[in-house]
Amino acid sequence: MNKRKFIGLILLMVISLGGIIWVQVTWIGNAIKVRNDQFDFFVINSLRNTARSLESSRRMNFLNEMLVNGYPVSPQLQHQGNMQGSFSGSLTIESSSASDQDSVEIVVATNNNPPVRMKVARDAAGATVQQEVVIGSDEYRQWMQRRAGEFQSMSNQLITEMFVWEKELAIDREELNRTLKSELMASGIETPFEFAVIRGDTLSDGIWSKVKEKEFKSSPYQVTLFSEGLLRKGETVAVVFPNKTNYVLGSIALILGGSGLFSLIILSTFALSLWFIISQKKISEMKSDFINNMTHEFKTPIATISLAADTITNNKVISDEEKVRHFAGMIKKENARMNRQVESILQIATLDKHEVEFDFSETDMHNVIIRAIETVEIQVTERGGVIRRHLDAERSIIAGDAEHLRNVIHNLLDNANKYSENTPEITVLTSSDDRGVIIVVEDKGKGMTRAVQNRVFERFYRETTGNIHNVKGFGLGLNYAKAITEAHGGNISVESEPGKGSRFSLFLPFNGNARA
């Protein structure tokens, strides 16, 4: 996949993911708004029902006390002689309706008072009034003259009593709380609430502990009590829900949770897909680089062997035994070099398949190190360098595979030599503790950045300068060293600074067990 296609694919994935998330966020926002609107509607409706319930309760109590049980007559009216005893009956102050067949509306008018409209029982209006009262008839006017004073007295008394009742009307906090709770529960709202009765600019009554006064005054959930009263107007009940947000979100928790879960799954899938694509792209690049390097590494010894073979067959050379031996040795040396390279590749392949066979036995790591130094020391000496050894471990014998461990030390020494731009100065140190042997390989080469250190043990990875590998190789040596070390139950790490060299630390336990 070329770079443009790769970027285009990533861009499409990002746009798709962004669109899905935008749709989810928009949908969730709309769902929350709808729930809030429903909550507001039900609360306002419950408040109105509460106000109507309280007003109806007060009116019924008043009517039962004043009318159904007998309306008391004031002493003043008894003294005037306009009415004796007490009046009892089905007197109401509601408007008459077509369905009300047991009462009629009476309009009382006198010279000094405005007309008074009242409903009275048909029986009390007189035996001659059966279905309707014909206003303006002589009989009606005579009847009204006889009854006008009585109706006026009843009207005055009723107004007086209603005045006193409305002026001294008290709101029962507990009743208000019960009614509010009942109405809210009937509407499906069960979250805790606090309320206050606002009279003027102050809170006169209520139940609250968490909510402040200004919150009640600014609450959108308010209703006026006794809105049709003459004296009690201006009393408002305000309700605040401290946990409204949690309640609304909780009501759609399942939807929110499901949406969040699937969004997370989509995001994770996108991230994993992106990671796999990038990883595969890196692996593809590293494999291509590996093939190029392998081709170069094999091409050199093959060319050398071919040249030596052609030279030997030359008539002038074939008769010279010394020259034949020289070129034959060159062929053998290059052949051994190719074998080592092939062996390194095969070892990595067998490690991948967990087919490596380890020969665990008592192995003296000092002997292993000395043998590894002998294979590299010639190359270091040719460059004018030196390998210093400080084999100070008190215990150097472990349970391990000597051949694989020698290859590990060889790889570390070979890297120290290759990445020393000037004269190589390599130091090998050993020490031991109660758990195992510690081996350190130090150099004063070019060192590594932190980014390189994090990847130096990856397969096929090789540090580059621009697009050029300054040091040839397969990028398998340190990966092999890490795999073998871990197979022995140990670990390997690196410390380095650019321009100051590198320090590889290898730990091998005394009784390690192969895990490959």
SS (H, E, C) 218-235: CCCCEEECCCCCCCCCCE
| CB contact at 8 A, 196 and 236 | no
Give me the mean pLDDT over the 20-48 stretch.
89
Who wins on pLDDT, 222 or 458?
222
CA distance 296 to 274: 33
pTM given for the model? 0.46
| CB contact at 8 A, 424 and 385 | yes
Band of pLDDT at residue 440, cut at 50, 70 and 90: very high
Q: What percent of the chain has pLDDT over 70?
A: 73
CB atoms within 10 A of CB 185: 11
Please tell me the least confidently modeled range out of 43-47, 88-92, 476-480.
88-92
Q: What percent of the chain has pLDDT over 90?
A: 17
Residue 91: strand, helix, or coil: coil
- Each residue of 259-278: pLDDT tens digit? 888 888 888 888 888 888 88
CA distance 510 to 500: 32
Give me the mean pLDDT over the 386-401 stretch.
92
